[in-house]
Each structure stands twice: as C-alpha cells, then as structure tokens.
Amino acid sequence: MTKKQKKMLARILVAAVLMIGLHFVPVSGAARFLLYMIPYLTVGYDILLKAWKGIRNRQVFDECFLMAVATVGAIALALYEQSGDYTEAIAVMLFYQIGELFQSYAVGKSRRNISELMDIRPDYANIETDGTLTRVDPDEVETGSVIVVQPGEKVPIDGIVVEGNSTLNTSALTGESVPRDAKAGDEIISGCINLTGVLKIQTTKEFGESTVSKILDLVENASSRKSRSEEFISRFARIYTPAVCYAALALAFLPPLVRFLALGLSPDFGTWVYRALTFLVISCPCALVISIPLSFFAGIGGASNAGVLVKGSNYLETLSQTKIVVFDKTGTLTRGVFEVIGIHHNQMEEEQLLEYAALAESASSHPISKSIQKAYGKELDRSRVTEIREISGNGVTARVDGHEVAAGNDKLMDHLGISCIPCHSVGTIIHLAIDGRYAGHIVISDVVKPHSAEAIRALKAAGIRKTVMLSGDIRKVAEKVAEELGLDEVYSELLPADKVEKVEELIGTKKEKEKLAFVGDGINDAPVLGRADIGIAMGAMGSDAAIEAADVVLMDDDPLKIAKAIRISRKCLGIVYQNIVFAIGIKLICLALGAVGLANMWLAIFADVGVMVIAVLNAVRALFVKNL
C-alpha cells in the first residue's frame, strides 16, 4: 500500500473504533453531538472539503457533493428530531471511504502492472573511452556509437551486437519468460536485461526513436483514448447526478406538501427528508464512474504484461468485435528471411554445388545471395573467385577455381543458351551451370513462423469468421503458404495500393457490427493498418511506420498473440457490461424501495459502497490474462 492509502486506512480504523466505542458512552445533548463529530470529521473531512471546492468552482454535482448532502442532512435530521442517532451519517461516510480505498488499491495494482513495463526505461548507457567505461545519458548517444552492456544492466538503445555472447531477459517487453540468446551480428532491442556476458552494441537508432521510448510513449498515452462505453458513462454521470439531486429534493418536499394541502394530513417532513437522503446515497454513481474506466485500464495493463500493447481503450473495444483478420504474408506469417530448403543436383555432390553457388554469389548483398552463403556455412575464400558479373534481374556469372559458373533464374539460363530442368518445388529457384553445362538448382523460400498455423487455429477457436492473407509474392508461393496454414482466402501479386483496395473490399462484405483487423509489419503495410478497423503491428522487428500506424502492437512478433489479444479484449468488455448491468440494476431496485420508504440508510450504503466494491473487484479481474 502507498503512504496515502495507509493514512486513509488508519483514518477508517480510528473512525470505526470511535463510532463503536461511543455506543457505550452514556452522554446526550450537545456533548453527544460533539463526540460523534470526531469520528465523522476524522473519516470525512476531505469529502466535505472537495464538496465545498466543487460548489465554489460551480462544479456542484459529483459524488462528494452527494455524500456531503446526505450525511450533513442525516445529522441535521437527527438534531431536528433530537434522536441523537448520528451513527448512520458516520457509517455512510465510513463505508464510502472504504469503497474509495478499494478503488485506489485496484487502480494502484493496475498501475503497478504497467509500471513493471515502465521499469524498462534505462537510466544510463556505457561508453568505452580509453579502456574505461563512462556512464552517459542515453539521449546523448549518437547513432553508430558502440555501447557496452554488462550483466544485470538494461539495453538502453536499439542496435546490433558487434562483440560478445549473452542471454537476454525480454519478459518486460514480450511477456515471454524464457531468456533469449544474443551473439555477434544479432539485432537487439532496448528494454531487454542482459543476464550473463558482456555485450558491445553498435546503436542503430537514437534513444528517442528506440523501441523502449516508443513503448513507453504508447503506454503513457493509452488512457487518453476513451472507448464508447467510457464516453457513455461520462455523459451519463453528467446528466444523471443533477437529475437525482433534483429528484431527491422533490421527494423531500412534494409528498409532504401534497399530504398537507390536498389531504389535510400532517406533512411529516422528517420521514420524507430521510427518504430523500437515503435516495441520494443510493443514487451515487460511483460504481459506474469508477469501475468502467478501471476495467479498461486493467485490461490494457494485463495486455501489456502479456506483451500486447493496446494504444487506448477504444481500440480494446474494437478488437473485441473483430470477426475478420487479414494478414500480410512476409514478416507476419513468415519470418521474412530466405532460407535454402532444397538442393537438386545433376551428377554433382550437393555440398560442391552449394559451394560453387556461394562463391559465385559472394560479392552480392541480395537476401537470396545471403541465404545461399548462410546455407553453405563455411568461410568463403574470395581469392578463388574472379570476373564476377551481375546481370540485373537474372543472376550472376563468375570464374571459380578456373571454372565458368552461372547462378540465376530461368532468364539467365536462356540468355546463356543452357537448357535447365524445371523444378516443381514452391519457392525461388536458383539454377546453376558450370562450364556451360547444367549442374542443378537450389530452392529458396521464406520460412513460415513456428506458431503461424497454431495462430490461425486459435483465431478460429476464438470465433473469427474469416482469415485472409494478402501478399505481393507470386500466386504459387502465396497459395502454398495459405494452404499450409489453413487460411480461408489468399490474394497474391499485390502492390501496397492493391492491398488497401482489397481491405476496403473486404470491409464492404462484413456484417454491420463486425470489425476487420489487419496484421502487418512492413513500411508498405502502414496505409493498410490505418485503413482497417483495427491495425495490429509486429513490434519487435516491425518497421517504425507500421508501429506508428497500428492500434495494437505485438512485442515479440508472435502471431499467436493475436488470438490472445482478442480474448483479453473480450474478457475486458464482458467485465464492463457485467458492471454496467449490475450497478444500474441494483440501484434502480434500491431507488424504488427508498422512494416508497422500504429502504433505510444501511441498504443505501450497500447500494452505493457495496455495489462499488463488488464492481471494482470484478474490474480487477481484467488484470489476470496469463491463462487466456
């Protein structure tokens, strides 16, 4: 508990002890009144001050005003009737403060869940100068600088490991508890905690543009984007509170006047004022005003803890209504890196074929060339290669160990007049010819992510009606991936503008209350992310433009998190609707009972504070998302 919460708890305990103890003190009159005011003011002085400030600032109608009127009215009524019963007024204020303490603790728990994410903010960066480490502010580190991260320290800025091996704790970013290995050449994002070895990292971004800064900015601004439910509750409270105040005023004076003027009976103001005060306590909208924003706040906190960043409660609400999920292929369902998946040779050993291809491609930085060199896996002796010539759009020719080697596509083979054997495998085919004779071919493909198929199954289990994939790749490759993953529809050979048109077309086919989500990672996905009802970006390796345009960011690029994000949003919205129905239903029943005199102040306390505590405890459930 915070210092402020402990102080409030102490005030509540002191007031409760005094209220109970005064029952055994045989005093009456002014002395009794003064003694009972001690626990009343102990627990309620801040509410009275807030109510007075509201009146002075002409912002009268809030829960503090209702509590002040109800309790001061109850005390005035006890004085008028000379009953000396001030317990109800103290109890109303006491239980209201207990409810406020519950609410404060629940909000604090939600904030702590998000503040765990805030712990990723680095305090410093280590720069090595003349063999010694100097701590500097991360904002002062320029792009391209080499920083040193020691065991136990946070990675302050995105970069590439240039020296060292270690394992990284990424749980604050991704929600994944298993440490990840890092070695020279690996990309590394800020916010991770270095666990074992010393790493030297060459920065690729400034601190303000790094992953950790963007995450913190997203979380800090999330609460500013309100959902329709929150906006409705805010508007409801602005109309509802003045309405019940005027209704209570009418209840206090109209029935007694009717009794006196029309029926000639005693007006009995005391009874009707008591009913009006009870009516006021019952009508206090705390349960709705507090629990609905808290539910969304807890939902965003729980999602953040699971590695899913939701930029606002409005997006959480939209995500819960998603029925169509559209995927980009490369980098989203596939890894976005090419790998050799097959070597088909013609009277030559596989290893030798791959060696010739790797040497011929050794001067190229093209991803396909890199994938062949990676598959070879050995250090290349560039001195063995001469006369390298790259033919744009076709491939390369080179002299390797005195042999003429050509590596490329069908067009290159046609250009050289070499007959090649067609390949029925799906992927990019690199044909190889040595000394004018066909030697075989290598099949290269973008590899499907390990959890992609499971992610599609999880989405369908979560009630997603249609899964679609959009790709700029050739039809054969796109259809093979779609078939492997079990997608409902696939569209291939699309330019970025074509993807926007296709998403608009799909939006036109959905039902009225259904929402369409688009999942992408590349810079060319930004227009589509912005056009969809809800845009989901792959955060860890996704482009800055995609993350900026998206409404939801998955921190570990795992498509399986999409289904989890949808389940989190639906749980959160379910809690919101439960609280709305429960709070309004109980209050309407108790208001009716209070108006006809069947509810006393103790039932009013339950209708106000009891309902608020139950609603707050229900809202806190949105934090717990691990088993979803």
The closest of 342, 353, 494 to 428, measured between CA atoms, is 342
CA–CA separation, 64 and 49 (whole Å)? 9
Strands 466-470 and 437-448: unpaired
Q: Helix H segments across 474-559?
A: 475-485, 496-509, 526-531, 544-549
CA–CA separation, 56 and 30 (whole Å)? 30
Please give the radius of gyration of the chain, using alpha carbons only, rounded to the nearest integer: 34
CA–CA separation, 512 and 489 (whole Å)? 21
340: buried, middle or exposed (CB in 10 Å: 19+, 13-18, 0-12)?
A: buried
Strands 395-400 and 403-408: antiparallel
Give Cα 394 to chain centroid, integer Å: 45
Buried b (16+ CB within 10 A) or exposed e, 545-581: bbbebbbbbbbbbbbbbbbbbbbbbbbbbebbebbbe
The closest of 493, 561, 613, 487 to 95, measured between CA atoms, is 613
Structure tokens at 627: 């088993």
CA–CA separation, 340 and 358 (whole Å)? 12
Structure tokens at 374: 């990676």
CA–CA separation, 523 and 447 (whole Å)? 20
The closest of 436, 515, 513, 502 to 471, measured between CA atoms, is 502
Active site residue 85: no
CA–CA separation, 409 and 337 (whole Å)? 19
CA–CA separation, 619 and 615 (whole Å)? 6
CA–CA separation, 559 and 326 (whole Å)? 12
Structure tokens at 276: 């009006």
Please say whether the dihedral angle defined by the alpha carbons of residues 156, 157, 160 and 162, taken in this order, is positive or negative: negative
- Residue 328, strand partner residues: 470
DSSP letter, residue 384: G
Q: Are 444 and 430 in contact (CB under 8 A)?
A: yes
The closest of 375, 304, 251 to 111, measured between CA atoms, is 304
Structure tokens at 381: 């002796």
DSSP letter, residue 437: E
Q: CA triplet 346, 352, 353: central angle to 5 degrees?
A: 45
* Annotated catalytic residue, options 62, 158, 328, 525: 328
418: buried, middle or exposed (CB in 10 Å: 19+, 13-18, 0-12)?
A: middle
Distant-in-sequence, close-in-space partners of 424: CB < 8 Å, separation ≥ 6: none
Distant-in-sequence, close-in-space partners of 585: CB < 8 Å, separation ≥ 6: none
The closest of 559, 554, 552 to 457, measured between CA atoms, is 559
Q: Are 496 and 528 in contact (CB under 8 A)?
A: yes
Write down how long the chain is: 628
Please give the positions annotated as active site.
328
